[in-house]
Amino acid sequence: MQNNHIDILIKMGLSLNEAKVYLALLKKKISQVGEIATLSGVPQKMIYYVLQKLMSKGMCSLVPGKVKKYKPTEPDIGIGNFITRAQKQIDSSKKMLDELGKQYEIGQNETSTVEFIEIVQNTTNVAQRVLSLERLSTEEVLSFNKPPYAMTDRNIEELYGLQRGTRYRSIYQISEAKDLIPMSVMEMYREAGEEVRIAESLPMKMMIFDSRILMFAHEECLTPPENFTAVIIQRSSIISALKELFEMYWSQSMTVEEFRETYRDSISSEKHIMSK
């Protein structure tokens, strides 16, 4: 327990010796230097320097007398000062984060005609960029859904987007739709409001956000996870072309009802195997 307290005090900004001396001071109402050295394990030649540092931080005080004695500041005040300062830093950081977030959104919505290309690597980073782009989307998100996937957890940003009125249209590849686990995920998003179609195969893995930002997976860099690479393109004519490609696939793909009717036997067979 003592070691845990020392670790916490160090993280709050105290040195190792300062943490040891303060904890030693707390063991007695008033302590002489020799006692503090014994209780803390800090060499006596260093004690005066450490005590001076603690006094400057408001964590102990000198008791007047012929023999120097020291009194600890009660934890609510001594350590409370650190907590108060830390909370102010957190509040200040949150305010800055909010201001920078607003600035970021303004920058994302600028009407520059310059094409912008970004390369994002690693599964975790790609997943975070998808979430941030979904968070900024207010009109429509289109997607070609095929493996592998950057996100393994539920996409909460899509659910939020559907609630605020953003339209989601996704085309799933049959090989995925026939698999019971992806199918249950697909059904969850569909029940939340996502519009779903199913295609025999898809030419690429991509998403289009509000008709102005394109993200697609680099097919040759999908595995292992650290090689997962996505390309993000903004303000490019290629986005319109790929949106037309999406619409073509959308019109030619099966509805969920058509898919269930066409592949009813194979789906029932898989369900039977899974139930055993």
Confidence (pLDDT) at 213:
93
Residue 200: which H helix or E strand, with range? none
The letter for the amino acid at 65 is G
**Average pLDDT score over residue span 125-138:** 90
Residues 6+ apart with CB under 8 A from 265: none
Higher local confidence (pLDDT), 275 or 110: 110
- The span from the CA of 215 to the CA of 126, in Å, is 10
Looking at the domain 2-75, which fold is it? Arc Repressor Mutant, subunit A (1.10.10)
**Average pLDDT score over residue span 201-230:** 81
Confidence (pLDDT) at 273:
30
Return the C-alpha torsion angle 236, 238, 244, 247, nearest 10.
-90
What are the extents of the domains in the chain? 2-75, 108-275
pLDDT per position as a tens digit, 250-276: 999 999 888 888 877 655 444 433 333
Give the SS3 label for residue 167.
strand
Confidence (pLDDT) at 222:
52
**121 strand-pairing partners:** 229
Tell me, yes or no, if the pTM score tops 0.85.
no
Question: Is 180 within 8 Å of 271 (Cβ atoms)?
Answer: yes
Confidence of residue 141 (pLDDT cuts 50, 70, 90): very high
**Average pLDDT score over residue span 11-40:** 91
Q: What is the dotted CATH code of the domain comprising 108-275?
A: 3.30.870.10
pLDDT of 247 higher than 80:
yes
pLDDT of 124 higher than 80:
yes
pLDDT of 23 higher than 90:
yes
Mean pLDDT of the chain: 83
Confidence of residue 44 (pLDDT cuts 50, 70, 90): confident
pLDDT per position as a tens digit, 143-175: 998 877 776 667 888 989 999 999 999 999 887
Residue 221: which H helix or E strand, with range? none
Confidence (pLDDT) at 81:
82
Confidence (pLDDT) at 153:
67
pLDDT per position as a tens digit, 224-242: 556 788 899 987 889 999 9
